[in-house]
Amino acid sequence: MAEQTLLESGRRINFLKKLQSICGVLPLGIFFCFHMVANYTFTWSVPAYDAFSHFLETMPYKDLLEITVIFAPLVAHALIGIYIVATGSCNVGSYRYMRNWRYLFQRITGVIAFAFLLWHVIGLKWGVSLLPDGGSTFELVRSVVADPWALAAFVLGVYSCLYHFVNGLWTFCITWGITITPRSQQITSWICFALFVVGAVFVAQMIVCLI
């Protein structure tokens, strides 16, 4: 009976991990990449960025898309993550293994990213709603990060999102059996690290343009 219970628990956790990884990579991960690329446009053309932001704000079925593509997967991803952490073990007592560190940072950045997204989305939607016709979204964001504490929170939040996404790609490949051997996992680890470095450079460039 005990073995059967453990087996069922293992299957449930495995299913939840796959569901969480799907929510994190497909809707949320794709949206994150799209959002970062769209935001990067202000490094070469603020009018183009403002025009694209206006298009997103006025596009048909925007609220429905936000709920189904962003908020629902985000809540599911977060709740499953909390459940897995509450029923699992971080196993970082000895700090001997890199995976333990990655597991720990994934959970920490997940909490930071979730809080940042709530602050960013709610604050930005409220701010955009107050903009006059023809108002600049770029100038709105710039005014927010003009405060040093807000800038620090912004930098921490964006880099936490970046790490959480990139490391999540690595665990996604393991969870779904794409990378089974240690060799394949090491290769994807280096690929994800390279993606993080490239993303970090792009983020740094955007932050410099904002300030």
Ranges of the chain whose pLDDT falls below 70: 1-9, 88-96, 127-135
Q: Which residue bears the tokens 């600049």?
A: 136
Give pLDDT, residue 133. 59
DSSP 11-26: HHHHHHHHHHHHHHHT
Q: Are 129 and 140 in contact (CB under 8 A)?
A: no
Q: How far apart are alpha carbons 89 and 166 in whole angstroms?
A: 22
Helix boundaries (H) for 145-181: 148-175
Domain 2-88+98-210 annotated CATH 1.20.1300.10: yes
| pLDDT (0 to 100) of residue 189 | 95
Query: Residue 200: exposed, middle, or buried by beta-carbon count in 10 A (0-12, 13-18, 19+)?
Result: middle
Helix 27-40 and helix 72-87: axis angle, to 10°?
120
**Domain spans in the chain, listed from the N-terminal domain onward:** 2-88+98-210
For the stretch 107-146, pLDDT in tens is 999 999 999 998 888 777 776 655 555 567 888 888 888 8
Counting Cα atoms < 13 Å in the Cβ hemisphere of 26 gives 10
Crossing angle (nearest 10°) for helices 148-175 and 182-210: 160
Rounded alpha-carbon distances, angstroms, from residue 165 to 28, 95, 118: 9, 23, 17
- The alpha carbons of the chain give a radius of gyration, in whole angstroms, of 19
φ/ψ of residue 92, rounded to 5: -115, 15
Q: What is the pLDDT of residue 118?
A: 87
Predicted local distance difference test score (pLDDT) of residue 4: 56
Q: Which residues of 56-67 are buried (b: 16+ CB within 10 A; e: fewer)?
A: eeeeeeeeeeee
